[in-house]
Amino acid sequence: QQVQVPVISIGHAMGSYYYAGVDNTTPIKEMMEHLHKEHGCMRFLYAGGPKGHYENYSRMTAFKRYILEHGLIEQDTWFGDYEYATGVKYMDRLVKEAIPFPDAIVCANDNIAAGICARAEELGFNVPEDFLVTGFDNMEKAAYFYPQISTITNDRGKIAASVVDILHKLWAGGQVESFTFVPTECSFGESCG
């Protein structure tokens, strides 16, 4: 900013910098709507990533807002990292602390969702029969995992292309919105039935 060159922050809103990434709130609302309306889910747990991470915070906030707006039950909100092992730890915690299973566990990403599903199976539980699980990012892991993870697209290639477009517009003297959102899409798989 001091040398007056354009700065674009990818996936993290920072001050007056331009933002390129996904709208983390709308697709979470769509996923929650699917879980609630299509599957009758009433009790939810948010299996989050790092507490201070922008994308995780945005997804968690959308999750909590949907719960409040629809009078649903939020069992808990957990924070960890974005790794598979975090999902394993979350599943172990559910069992160790004898926490009643929620109807659905909404995960901050596909790695966490895969860890929960795999550990649930190791412990003798079954997704989606015992509870539903969703992820975010639509990684190959989600598509080829068993059960196939219901997820939300986060196309990093399209985000990178949008960054180049923003720079071209700015260099040509054009105007650019502060936030550039790449489209997302819910992809419903076996983990939500």
CA distance 2 to 120: 51
Measured CA distances, 107 to 47, 111, 143, 176 (Å):
5, 9, 15, 32
Question: How confident is the model over 21-61, as pLDDT tens digits?
Answer: 999 999 999 999 999 999 999 999 999 999 999 999 999 99
Among 79, 106, 111, 103, smallest CA distance to 93 is for 79
Q: Which of 1-10, 51-60, 113-122 has the lowest mean pLDDT?
A: 1-10
The tally of CA atoms less than 13 A away on the side-chain side of residue 15 is 5
> Model-level pTM?
0.93
Tokens of 24: 């983390």
Work out the pLDDT band at 103, boundaries 50, 70, 90.
Answer: very high
Q: Are 31 and 156 in contact (CB under 8 A)?
A: no
The tally of CA atoms less than 13 A away on the side-chain side of residue 10 is 13
Instruction: Work out the number of other CB atoms within 10 angstroms of the CB of residue 77.
Output: 16
Question: How confident is the model over 143-165, as pLDDT tens digits?
Answer: 999 999 999 999 889 999 999 99
